[in-house]
Chain A
Amino acid sequence: MSTDNKYDAIVIGAGPNGLLSAAYLAKAGHKVALFERRHETGGGLNTDEYYGFRFNLHAIYHLMAEKMPAWKDLDLASLGVRYIYPQVVAAFPFKDGSSLIFTRDPQETAESIAQFSKADAAAYLHMWEEFQPMLDDYLIPMTYELPKPALDQLSEFGETEVGAKLAEISEMSCLEVIDHYGFQHPRVRMALLSFPAIWGIHLADPLGFLYPLYLCRMMDAAFVKGGSHRLSSAIYRSFVRSGGQVIDENEVTKILTENNRVQGVQLQDGRKFFADAVISTLNPVQTFKHLLTKEEVPFALSQCVDTWQWEERSLFGLHLGIEGGVTYSAKNPRVSQAMTVFIGMETEDDLLDHLDRVDSKSTKGPEWLHIAQPSLFDSTMAPPGHHTLRAEAVVAYDPDWRARSKSFGDACLDLIREYGTVDNIVLRREVSPVDIEQKLTTMTKGSYKHGAYSTLQLGYLRPNDLCSCSETPIDGLFVGGASMYPGGMILGGSGYLAAQVAGEYLGEPVKK
């Protein structure tokens, strides 16, 4: 094993995107070093395992799963990744004992919606049917292709009927999309809007193209058997097997450049490592403001980075190890079979008002929770006779979060108990936005997608139009994290794209 310091490519940050970039480049034959600040790789693919419990503290279910090119390209199944697809995806129990059930099967979902509104049930099926070709022909493949400027993209959409429909809803907000398909019932609308809202998407912003993704990919979401970290360890092992070197527990504090050309990186302890290409998967402020000096960054780029917006809505997570389990009081037993259970909201107005209160920091405690229990589907997540549970709330960041973590956690438990019983809690952890920020330092202000999903920072503009296709104005420097197209969450996207671009640059493409 060499401990030398010259590589073809250096990747900064071993979260899912960094791991992917590194693994693809190494597989193509490049000599790659992957640097990680923490003692553990995986970033948001984190599973803490102790006392027999496995807690997914960040990513819990994945929306793209086997749709990621990496699934086949790196043969992740042969490296031990198995996805579990629960049939019942989301349950919305209401105070009167009734509930809405969304499943993988749109017919089943429509039947559930029909108990509240037959018209909305028909609308769901119609919308679902229209969304499928939008996803298959455009949205899914585009996730794994470099982005085009908006006008070019829209004109491409205009070339087909499906594309034209997609273009139409792209300019709408999620609220307008729901209006467009004619949904009326306040409970149904609330549920439909929940799917983007839990990820911090602002429902009145013109991000309609995200809606088909957040609804339909949610209906195809999956848990990694054994915990989210099994996905990052598989990519890690692919990388090591291809000869890659993982250098964890070492923070990169400088990207080295000379005459506007990348040279390598320097670590906190002063050691230097050299490479022809460097991919940074950190956020734009870290890459261009902390790791590079003012002189090294072109003025226009620096200005762009100055306008980078963090996310307004972060997450608070309450994690429990339970001896026994949770029993919901809802009449429909399918609530207890759901991948996620949403509690606290009865109508669309409730949800919109709640989100306003979150943004204005005027909520008193948790009002809306989405609950996941991976152990219901995966017996390896807890000891026999036990379950794990995560209850998550959309919350605003503030630096004093920790002081109220415990009381907020207690209030989450109270809210859960309004909808059912919770047996003996033997382990408990709270993860506030401050914990997110301190643990995964790319997630400034708890921005788990590295930055706001606003029209000025999405698509071709993510992170900005000077770095829109991973290449930056600095020769040999590439970006590749959640702050690059296609964005955050476990998509297997930006890291994959960065590897493509860097591989071409190095003269040895990663996909033949």
Chain B
Amino acid sequence: MKNYDVIIIGGGINGLTTACYLQKSGLSVGVFEARGQCGAHCDTIELGRPGYLYNTHANWLVPAMSPAMADLDLEGYGLDLRGTDVIFALNYSDGTNTVQSLDPSVTMASVARHSEKDAATLAKMLEYGMANMEDAIEINGLLQFSRPTMALAERVAKFNDGLLKHLGLSIDGDDAMRMTGYEIVEAVFESDKIRAFPGALGEYTGQWPLNRRVGPTVLGLCSMSPMAVHTAKGGSHALNHSLVRCFVAHGGEIWTTCPVSKILVENGKAVGIKLSDHALMPGEEIRAKTIVSNLTLVPTFRDLLGEAVIGPEWMRRIKYFNYDDPQLVNVYYALKDAPVFKSAEYDPAIQRCWVGYFGTDSLEQIRLAQTQAMTGVVPTKTMGGWSVTTLADPAQAPAGGHIINSWITVPPNPRRWGNKTLNGWNTWKEGLAEALGDSMDNLFEEMVPGFKASIIERHTMHPLNAENSNPSAIRGNMIGGSAIPEQAGENRPLPGVCVNGAARSFIPGLYLSNSIHPFGATHLASGYIAAGEIAEDLGCRDQSWWDSKPFDWFFSNMGRIPMNLGVADKWKV
């Protein structure tokens, strides 16, 4: 078995991103993946009937925002994005809805129908955004795709200062930094329905708005601006495949069914890996000067390094790394027909939207559900996200059929549901997901009359399934570990793990591409950041092709991404 310049432990999309950048820069890179395929959290599977494709984890893809899109030419390697012109929606129980569109005037009109005051606030936000467009784009890009710094935090605060002042509010940028997402929303908007909107959208980011320091993020969501909301032709796994093809085409090597059991450390430096006894080459040792772990923090430090390497102090500290943020129960449906929302009567634009949320009429209801989920209680009120992927990409179901991927936020260790005492983590073996699936069926029937009659098949995935799919994702956590303030920003994953960077660990030669800033997602930011720091250290950062900026590809190409391919003619404008 040959040695490499760089070994990447774990073939998730961020690890693959790092792998692509480094291989393309001329290094020899080997990726070692425990599963049979790469991209555990971006998978697409036919769970039942042939032709019905379920995106079991990531649904709403955002690689369009990433520098990787252009730097790695992912489109050339088969990543064909698809979307709809209405990019997010919230359906209310009274048969109305609010929609957010790529066309800001549609968004504005939708908001205005509920609240003139909130529409006016939104207009002011957009005004400020337009006037400070370059600054906004640059700040956002830096926030997602570079290491958090004090200077950047100050710049964000200053930007938000201006915005909040422009809105005529008495809070400033520093206040925003200390607020929860919900507090921000309540300060900005006044109507229940419009307040619910950024609350719902916030859940999609995986950064639970209940946390302090999430204020600025949620403030950004309040602007309801155009954003990248895509699926890919053939499903989410097209992202994995494009990264794999790019990597392999440049000479990279991928070893699947190769779980790693140890990071070899000599004289305090990471020098290689040892494969598990279950791997293709049991117990084999492979060397490299640079090791990147795409596993989450605890498996990396507790299992692959161990106390002998990191010492008892670190062993104790990493034990408290938190994975217990709310998780999801996913409910997937194959449908005979496209869902027709009851709120289509109120505003047919909803039928051109493939990602949304429902089950709530106010921010207060969302906050209660989130608080319950954070404290081990299954939310009393069923609410959650839905995506009708086939409206954007009809190829994900046979002709005429449709797919919905929906989810409910739940505590990973449920201890109570209503009056019923539950068994914590073991409850997932007892049919809880199916019961929640039934609740989702009922919610859909309420919002989409005739829904149940349209169901061909239904599947569920719960946090235990997710953890079994990917043991590095403890409790099935989707983003590499909870995004709570003490594990966010410059703290991520924990203070002191990363030194002089966002990916450089305190073990020389070992970098992290997971559990680091910002968090695991399809904008490939963690992988991009890790690649940058490694390339700097190895002296190969200066590549003519490695020059794309965040959002560049999206703004240049958003006009030609196919929209509404699966929307029936009667709903098209």
Contact = CB atoms under 8 A, between A and B. Distances in A.
B245 interface: yes
Contacts of B461: 50-51
A347 interface: no
Interface in B198-253: 233-235, 237-238, 241, 244-246, 248-249, 251
A51 B280 contact: no
A423 B219 CA distance: 52
14 contacts: A1-B76, A40-B237, A49-B36, A51-B468, A54-B36, A80-B256, A80-B257, A225-B257, A241-B249, A246-B78, A247-B78, A426-B429, A429-B48, A435-B49
A249 interface: yes
B458 to A, nearest CB: 14
B278 interface: yes
B78 A248 contact: yes
Contacts of A429: 48
A438 B43 CA distance: 21
Interface string B254-275: 1111110000000000000000
A195 to B, nearest CB: 28
A31 to B, nearest CB: 13
Nearest to A39: B234
B469 A52 contact: yes
Contacts of B367: none
A227 interface: yes
A3 interface: yes
B465 A50 contact: yes
A3 B79 CA distance: 12
B345 interface: no
B244 to A, nearest CB: 8
Interface in A10-26: none
Contacts of B278: 379-380
Given A39-B396, A243-B249, 8 more contacts: A51-B461, A54-B36, A82-B280, A233-B36, A380-B34, A380-B259, A438-B398, A439-B50
B45 interface: yes
Given A52-B469, A80-B255, A230-B256, A249 B46 contact: no
B36 A227 contact: yes
Q: Which of B48, B235, B238, B278 lies at the interface centre, i.e. has the most chain A CB atoms within 10 A of its CB? A: B278
Interface in B7-44: 34-37, 43-44
A241 B256 contact: no
3 interchain residue pairs of minimum CB distance: A52-B468, A226-B257, A1-B76
A3 B76 contact: yes
A199 B48 CA distance: 24
Contacts of B396: 39
B51 interface: yes
A387 interface: no
Contacts of A47: 36
Interface residues of A, number: 37
B120 interface: no
B406 interface: no
B465 A248 contact: no
B77 interface: yes
A48 interface: yes
A229 B37 CA distance: 9
A158 to B, nearest CB: 46
A240 interface: yes
A237 interface: yes
A47 to B, nearest CB: 6
A51 B469 contact: yes
A47 B468 CA distance: 16
Interface in A76-92: 80, 82
Contact of A439 (B46, B237, B248): B46
A439 B50 CA distance: 5
Interface of A is mostly: mixed
A66 B398 CA distance: 37
A509 interface: no
B24 to A, nearest CB: 11
Contacts of A243: 249
A29 interface: no
A439 B53 CA distance: 11
Contacts of B73: 1
Contact of A226 (B53, B248, B280): B280
Nearest to A226: B257
A206 interface: no
A2 interface: yes
A439 B51 CA distance: 7
B36 A249 contact: no
Interface of A: 1-3, 39-40, 47-54, 80, 82, 225-227, 229-230, 233, 237, 240-241, 243, 246-249, 379-380, 383, 426, 429, 435, 438-439
A47 B53 CA distance: 15
Nearest to A48: B45
Interface in B461-477: 461, 465, 468-469
A49 B280 contact: no
B146 interface: no
B100 interface: no
A51 B44 CA distance: 13
A438 B257 contact: no
Nearest to B279: A380
Nearest to A77: B280
Given A50-B45, A379-B278, A249 B234 contact: yes
B56 interface: yes
Interface in B47-94: 47-51, 53, 56, 73, 76-78, 80
A426 B281 CA distance: 30
B241 A248 contact: yes
A136 to B, nearest CB: 29
A54 B40 CA distance: 13
A240 B248 contact: yes
Given A1-B77, A240-B248, A39 B44 contact: yes
Contact of B245 (A3, A40, A51, A240): A240
Contacts of B245: 1, 240, 246
A249 B233 contact: yes
B280 A248 contact: no
B233 to A, nearest CB: 5
A500 to B, nearest CB: 25
Contacts of A48: 45-47
Given A249-B233, A380-B257, A230 B248 contact: no
B246 A237 contact: no
B248 A241 contact: yes
A82 B281 CA distance: 9
Contacts of B51: 438-439
Nearest to B461: A51
A51 B56 CA distance: 10
Contacts of B76: 1-3
A39 B53 contact: yes
Given A225-B257, A429-B48, A39 B235 contact: yes
B256 A226 contact: yes
Contacts of A438: 49-51, 398
A438 B398 CA distance: 10
Contacts of B80: 249
A230 B249 contact: no
B35 A49 contact: yes
Greatest chain A CB density within 10 A among B249, B429, B461 is at B249
Contacts of A54: 36
B395 interface: yes
Contacts of A230: 36, 256-257
B43 to A, nearest CB: 7
A426 B430 CA distance: 10
A1 B249 contact: yes
Which of B36, B53, B56 has most chain A Cβ within 10 Å?
B36
Nearest to B470: A52
Nearest to A424: B429
A240 B257 contact: no
A229 B36 CA distance: 8
A434 to B, nearest CB: 9
Nearest to B77: A1
B257 A237 contact: no
